[in-house]
Structure 1
Amino acid sequence: MCWRTRQPVPSASQALGRQPPALRQRIGRRVLLSLVLIWGLGSAVVLGVGNHFVAQAFDRALLDDAHALAAHVRGGSPGADALRLDLTPREVGLLRFDQSETVWFAVYGPEGIFIAGDHDLAAGNVAPGSTHAFSQLAHQGRELRRVSLHIAGSPSFTVVMAQTTAERTQLLRRLLVYSGLAQLWLLVVLGSWLLRGIERDLRPLTTLQDAVDQRDAADLQPLPQALTQQAGTRDVQRLSMALDGLLARVQHSLHAQREFAGNVAHELRTPLAGIRAQAAHALAQDDPAIWRSELEGIKQAEQRASRTVDQLLALARAAEGGIALTLQTIALNALVRDVLLRFLSRADALGVDLGAEGLEQTVEVRASAALMEGILNNLLDNALRYGRGNTPRITVALQVRGEHVVLSVADNGPGVDAALAQRLLQRWAQGDQGVRLGQGAGLGLSIVARYAQLMGGRLALDPAQDGPGLVASVWLPHARPAD
């Protein structure tokens, strides 16, 4: 018993000592990086929005205090311009009281005359048409938030209120910490959920990888249907279908190679055995005439073997041609004329009347020039070998019938019946004439049929209408069908 072990083939990156990251790791890193960036951006947005609304709230409270202070500013005696702040020392203390902030205030009359409060607290600039203005102020080494409230009247005056910003800063800091921790907790939960989802969605891909990796090199069967149905995403399903298609193409190619090798071995066994027997018989004789006779037989056997190999190669190319066959518009009448000129000398040597019909007008088809030459070569070769009657005659005709172009090769040989005509389209099938002559392998017509099929056409074998013979017709789509 022989045990075989599969050795994994190292990739290029492994051969160079570099291990590429796993797909789930790469996606996970990108997801986590995106979440961290979102968390940072969200914290910045929260800080900006919180700072705006906190400043609005504190500024509104500071402005209310300024209005309350302005309500206690009284004018002097009737007709006088003197102003005074009507607050007792106890009320002034209550005005300055704050649990976390230090408050300053000042009242200025017309022309900036100081009325009451803190003399060193200057008033800010109030824009024309506005009643108050907020501004930042550095006072006694502290950062203050100041509001200047202008009261129009007779006389007019300005109230200035200012306080430190420690409570604002502390409130913003708490807002940032609490919102940042809440966002971080949400992002951790979201990141865990996304990573589990990535792991779950990539699991069918891992299963598919294991199924392919554990296969033997000779196992080209499609992937199990259950494995394809368990694919969690359309991409994995498409990958499974692509792998099935690749396995089918590889299996088809291997089948064609094995068939070609078997055909070659089968068809060359007989001529090679004959060559060996004739060579052995010639070596056992002393008569030069026998030598020459055996050498002629060896030459003919070699020619038959060479022709068989050429046909087998053509059939293999036809089997593989459907994978990447490029069709183009060609002038079929010109191609037929060129091929006929190459066969004239052989036809003259055999005493065959080789003629053509319908080559005067241009007839275009969508086809491959190489395959069309192969079709004509095989049909003319078969007609010259097996279609010779008492007065050998072969006619190549080109006709347009509706949406098709019909290329026919007719001979006046013995012909075949309908049952044999269908059997001749298969490989290795020969008629009585071919068996009697012993020159063919039964591949020519099958090659023609396969070539025609690859170009969207078909091959038909019919008896001649005006006497004995065979008409081999190839129907091809017309490049410019008639309206």
Structure 2
Amino acid sequence: MRLAHGRPSLRQNVLRHVLVWLGLAWLLGSIVTVGVGQWFTQRAFDRALLDDAHLIASKVEVRDRQVALQLTPGELHAVLFDQHETMLFSVRGADGALLAGDRALPPPAASLSDTGHRFRQAEIDGRSFRLVVLAVNRPVPFTVTVAQSTSERAALLRELLAFSLAPQVLLLGVLAWRLRRSITADIAPLSQLRAAVEERQAGDFTPVPVRADSAEVHALAQSINMLMERLEESARAQREFTGNVAHELRTPLAGIRAQAEYGLRHRDPEVWREQLQGIAASETRASQALDKLLALALAYEAGTALQLAPVRLDHAVQEAVLRFLPRADRQGVDLGAEGVDAPSTVQADLTLVEGILDNLLENALRHGTTGADGRPVVTVAVQREGERTVLSVQDNGPGIPPERRSEMLKRGVRGVGQPSSGTAGGVGLALVTFYAQLLKAPVSFGSGPDGRGWRCAIVFGG
């Protein structure tokens, strides 16, 4: 099977690589087998040829320094008998003169040492022969040459190749078939994984089920599932970001619209100027909020830890109280701060700290000012507890029952006494929890010291 763009499949690549190296190993093994078989075959035939030369040399007699072969034609025929090969011999003196045998045999190329012998190849009458030259020195030197045609040797070598290489070829074919089945079975989980990923619908981040016997395929499946988890987290972060933008921009945009409508209903330029100033201020707050959310979303999407830096918590609290003080005065709320006279520095991010304070104060002024006893009070406090610094916002409103506190952290849930306020009280608290998690600062929600009201505390350091 070939995949897209004409590329070979993984099975074809693996099978090709394995079979190429198996084929090379088989070829090398065959060459070694042929070489070893030829060496042993040559050695066996040469040993018999040398034995014939020694037998003929033993029948040579020397009389009055004359050399003579003492073999009858029948005895010579028996010595050199070979059913398949042609046998030739010659006996020559020290001067190279032929004393007995066939003249077709060439004389020795050079004199040999005492009782030495030498093998070589020769062409005689167009046929290939194997020769052995035996030198004898007792007391008159002479040489005995015995030659044998090589057709039988070649036939024996061909048979050796046929009987040794043919089974190897068959074995290689069986091995290739078995490898193909095994490789197909081993990479089948990859095909299953590809099919599972291709069939996956957008927004479906459930783990991909894969049955894998190999560690590599199992690791790949785990990596894909981990990627699915990161994609799910990214999608969840995008949804959170969308909700955060909607929450943070709803109030300033509504204010801009209300101020614009109010200005359109009046013809007094002073009213227009006042409303335009309010619109500009609301737009500035909306832009700042959007910038904060964008920076937060980028940091969250990148998966990188925020660069924490020293933050003067007392200054941040004072500035937040000053921002909300005009609104608190209009609502008749006693908004104050405690513990901000002494410097208090924590490792945090100023943007997130401001987001926490703004959301908590917004929530307190919106939902915590319906207390039945006296004037509504909202207090922002900074307390030092050993190595830890606690930032808290508390009101004296009706509070929230313990069974509803976790529910209030969900977006879109309204606070007590706000059935139709048109604002989502739980959104701000969800953002506070999210910001505190990014700062690695534990957050807790509960009642005030006297059991009334609503209190949120964020612990820095320690």
Task: Give the TM-score normalised by structure 1.
Answer: 0.69
Alignment match of 1:58 (pick from 28, 41, 45): 45
User: 1:81 corresponds to which residue?
Assistant: 65
- In 2 relative to 1, CA 99–457 (structure 1 residues): closer, same or farther, beyond 3 Å? farther
Alignment match of 2:233 (pick from 248, 252, 255): 252
Once the two structures are superposed, what CA deviation does each residue of 1:281-310 show, in whole Å capped at 9, x if it has no partner?
Answer: 332233455545554554555455445545
Cα distance between partner residues in 2 of 1:270 and 1:373 = 22
Tell me if the contact between 1:50 and 1:172 (Cα under 8 Å) persists in the aligned partners: yes
Once the two structures are superposed, what CA deviation does each residue of 1:341-372 show, in whole Å capped at 9, x if it has no partner?
Answer: 8999899998989665487xxx9x8xxxxx63
Counterpart residue type for residue 311 of structure 2? V
Identical positions, percent:
38
Once the two structures are superposed, what CA deviation does each residue of 1:221-279 show, in whole Å capped at 9, x if it has no partner?
Answer: 222x4xx23x2422222222222222222222222222332343355445544543443
Once the two structures are superposed, what CA deviation does each residue of 1:299-350 show, in whole Å capped at 9, x if it has no partner?
Answer: 55545544554554455456x35x632577x8x5xx437x988999899998
- 1:187 CA drift (Å): 1.1
Cα distance between partner residues in 2 of 1:383 and 1:354 = 17
Counterpart residue type for residue 261 of structure 2? A
Q: Cα RMSD (Å) of the superposition? A: 4.8
1:190 equivalent in alignment to 2:169 = no
1:357-376 map, 5 Å? 357=343, 372-376=349-353
1:295-310 map, 5 Å? 295=276, 298-299=279-280, 301-302=282-283, 305-306=286-287, 308-310=289-291
1:49 equivalent in alignment to 2:28 = no
- 1:111 CA drift (Å): 5.4
Counterpart residue type for residue 200 of structure 1? A
Tell me if the contact between 1:356 and 1:395 (Cα under 8 Å) persists in the aligned partners: no
1:265 equivalent in alignment to 2:278 = no
- In 2 relative to 1, CA 128–69 (structure 1 residues): closer, same or farther, beyond 3 Å? closer
Tell me if the contact between 2:123 and 2:129 (Cα under 8 Å) persists in the aligned partners: yes
How many residue pairs are counted as aligned between the two chains? 430
Cα distance between partner residues in 1 of 2:407 and 2:192 = 49
Cα distance between partner residues in 2 of 1:267 and 1:326 = 23
Counterpart residue type for residue 45 of structure 1? V
1:214 equivalent in alignment to 2:199 = yes
Cα distance between partner residues in 1 of 2:92 and 2:254 = 130
Q: Which runs of 5+ in 2 are unaligned?
A: 326-335, 366-375, 417-421, 450-454
Cα distance between partner residues in 1 of 2:14 and 2:260 = 72
User: 1:481 corresponds to which residue?
Assistant: none
User: 2:59 corresponds to which residue?
Assistant: 72
Once the two structures are superposed, what CA deviation does each residue of 1:139-179 show, in whole Å capped at 9, x if it has no partner?
Answer: 34433211122345334543221112222122222322333
Tell me if the contact between 1:126 and 1:132 (Cα under 8 Å) persists in the aligned partners: no
Cα distance between partner residues in 1 of 2:52 and 2:132 = 10
- In 2 relative to 1, CA 423–236 (structure 1 residues): closer, same or farther, beyond 3 Å? closer
- 1:184 CA drift (Å): 1.4
1:214-363 map, 5 Å? 214-223=199-208, 225=209, 228-229=210-211, 231-265=212-246, 268-269=249-250, 271-288=252-269, 290-291=271-272, 294-295=275-276, 298-299=279-280, 301-302=282-283, 305-306=286-287, 308-310=289-291, 312-313=293-294, 316-317=297-298, 320=300, 324-325=303-304, 332=309, 335-336=310-311, 357=343
- 1:193 CA drift (Å): 1.0
Cα distance between partner residues in 2 of 1:462 and 1:216 = 42
- In 2 relative to 1, CA 269–417 (structure 1 residues): closer, same or farther, beyond 3 Å? closer
Tell me if the contact between 1:357 and 1:398 (Cα under 8 Å) persists in the aligned partners: no
User: 1:104 corresponds to which residue?
Assistant: 88
- In 2 relative to 1, CA 315–32 (structure 1 residues): closer, same or farther, beyond 3 Å? same
SS in 2 for 1:177: helix
User: 1:93 corresponds to which residue?
Assistant: 77
Task: Give the TM-score normalised by structure 2.
Answer: 0.71
Alignment match of 1:149 (pick from 109, 116, 134): 134
Alignment match of 1:22 (pick from 9, 12, 26): 9
Cα distance between partner residues in 2 of 1:409 and 1:81 = 131
User: 1:121 corresponds to which residue?
Assistant: 106
- In 2 relative to 1, CA 355–138 (structure 1 residues): closer, same or farther, beyond 3 Å? farther
Cα distance between partner residues in 2 of 1:25 and 1:85 = 72
Q: Which runs of 5+ in 1 are unaligned?
A: 1-12, 366-370, 401-405, 433-437, 478-483
SS in 2 for 1:336: strand
Mean CA deviation greater in 154-163 or 63-72: 154-163
- In 2 relative to 1, CA 298–132 (structure 1 residues): closer, same or farther, beyond 3 Å? same
